[in-house]
Copies of this chain bind each other. A is one copy, B any other.
Amino acid sequence: MGRVRLIVIGGDAAGMSAASQARRRLGSGDLKITAFERGEYTSYSACGIPYWVGGLVDGPGDLIARDPATFRESGIEVHTGHEVTGIDLAARTVTVNGRTESFDHLVYAAGATPIRPPWAGTPAGGVFGVQTLGDGAALQQWLDGGRDSAVVIGAGYIGVEMAEALQRRGLRVTLVERSGQPMSTIDPDMGALVADSVRKLGIELRTGVTVQGLETSGGRVSAVVTDDGVLPADVVVLGLGVRPNTALADAAGLPLGVTGALATDLGQRVTGPDGIVEGVWAAGDCTQVTHLVSGRPAHVPLGTHANKQGRVAGINIGGGYATFPGVIGTAITKICDLEVARTGLSSKEAEAAGFRFVTATVESTNRAGYFPGAVPMTVKLIAEKDTGLLLGAQIVGRTEAAKRIDAFAVAVWNRMTVTEMTALDLGYAPPYAPVWDPVLIAARKAGDAL
């Protein structure tokens, strides 16, 4: 038996984690690994782009975890600027830059592509997504040309982060959001706290506003047309979310899940109505995951999941055993001095999933009230009626707030009730928490609400 050939489509976190883990288990004599990346960079932190644009970190080099040369040293061939344009499952080949390459195992890790509404369809200078390091580099170059006003469309995590980054760069920034609040993944009352903070930064936040089109002049964007007026802009950032980049997989006849992303088994093997597609794996933003609280399939494109899924695929390809059971919807972000976090289900999501629930919101502090640096923190919990199961948690605070979501995340993961949570032995010392940590106070209040 000759060497097994592994081809990886997509050279970012998911694909390269898979490659690295497979390589850790199988030497070059047993496994040949080739990764194709259509862009210029490998294994980078797209999550770092807002901080690069905002001037807090240097880029793109600092955002790259490992470059092709480093992968090559560990026996992983990476070809950037190589776009896979076809997959022949019967022949076990892919077409890339016009030639054909055969595989025994295929890891599909093509990521996601920014949602570009029809009105953004005509390419115009000055309009950017924030999905790849290439997007970031292009935006940086555009900004270096000297710009005055920016419109960010979509006030989700990336939109808010980009609005702050552009404001930090000295631009006048308008943040436009169709729904009634920024960060629609948290409840409206918590979103209102974020809205206040964004406005205090000097960003013009316009909620309930629908974008209708772009105005251009000489091939460059000049304004954003909305149902609430025309907003002049010499740079437009699209923060409208992403969709799984599965066109190639679909064309090859790979089955897609209900979310339009690739469904996999626990080991990241692509699965469809007819079971596992032998030797084909998927990981990262192009895949569908199970939301462990709602029990539903979901598309949650986040670097942290991509890394885990890639690792799991690679371990299994290498003959080991690992699983990725799913997600619980944890997410955190920083907006200037505001920290925002969530896990589990929001009220809207809990309702959509069919839960009946109570909510409890508490105001507390990050440290003992008397300790220097103590600042307020708001925590909201969602607990199932009758059972008291913790369904979700949201935090908005100023410092040492967001990562408290992890305690809730582990509690949600383990299906704890809020009543049991009141007994949790969490870390207490005045510089870190009041004697009743906000996590515990929230659990108490939720218990009372039941």
Contacts and interface: CB of A to CB of B under 8 A. Distances in A.
A142 interface: no
A329 B411 CA distance: 18
Contacts of A426: 304, 330, 405-406, 409-410
Contacts of A332: 427-429, 432
A331 B426 CA distance: 8
A328 B425 contact: yes
Contacts of A407: 406-407, 409-410
A324 interface: yes
Given A57-B372, A410-B410, A303 B428 contact: yes
Interface string A302-341: 1111011000000000000011110111111110000001
Interface in A135-181: 157
A414 B57 CA distance: 38
Contacts of A303: 428, 435
A425 B304 CA distance: 8
A51 B430 contact: yes
**3 tightest Cβ-Cβ pairs between the two chains A and B:** A332-B427, A414-B414, A410-B410
A382 to B, nearest CB: 16
11 contacts: A13-B435, A56-B371, A57-B370, A304-B425, A304-B428, A305-B425, A322-B422, A325-B423, A330-B427, A400-B403, A407-B407
Contacts of A403: 400, 403-404, 427, 432-433
B429 A333 contact: yes
B409 A406 contact: no
Interface string A19-52: 0000000000000000000000000010110010
A363 interface: no
B368 A308 contact: no
Interface in A394-432: 400, 402-407, 409-411, 413-414, 416, 422-432
B334 A370 contact: no
Contact of A425 (B333, B413, B432, B439): B413
Interface of A: 13, 45, 47-48, 51, 56-58, 62-63, 157, 302-305, 307-308, 322-325, 327-334, 341, 343, 368, 370-372, 400, 402-407, 409-411, 413-414, 416, 422-433, 435-437, 439
Given A402-B427, A403-B404, A426-B406, A435 B304 contact: yes
A333 B429 CA distance: 6
A120 to B, nearest CB: 26
A319 B209 CA distance: 53
A424 B414 CA distance: 10
Question: Which interface residue of A324, A343, A411, A423 has the most chain B CB atoms within 10 A?
Answer: A423
A334 B429 contact: yes
Contact of A435 (B56, B307, B405, B422): B307
A149 B334 CA distance: 45
Nearest to A436: B307
A302 B435 CA distance: 10
A329 B48 contact: no
Contacts of A302: 428
Nearest to A289: B425
A324 B424 CA distance: 9
A322 B358 CA distance: 20
A45 B404 contact: no
A44 to B, nearest CB: 10
Given A403-B403, A407-B406, A423 B324 contact: yes
Nearest to A50: B430
A212 to B, nearest CB: 32
Contact of A63 (B330, B333, B370): B370
Given A305-B425, A330-B427, A332-B429, 12 more contacts: A51-B430, A57-B370, A62-B370, A63-B370, A308-B423, A330-B425, A332-B428, A334-B431, A343-B427, A410-B414, A413-B424, A414-B414
A87 to B, nearest CB: 28
B48 A368 contact: yes
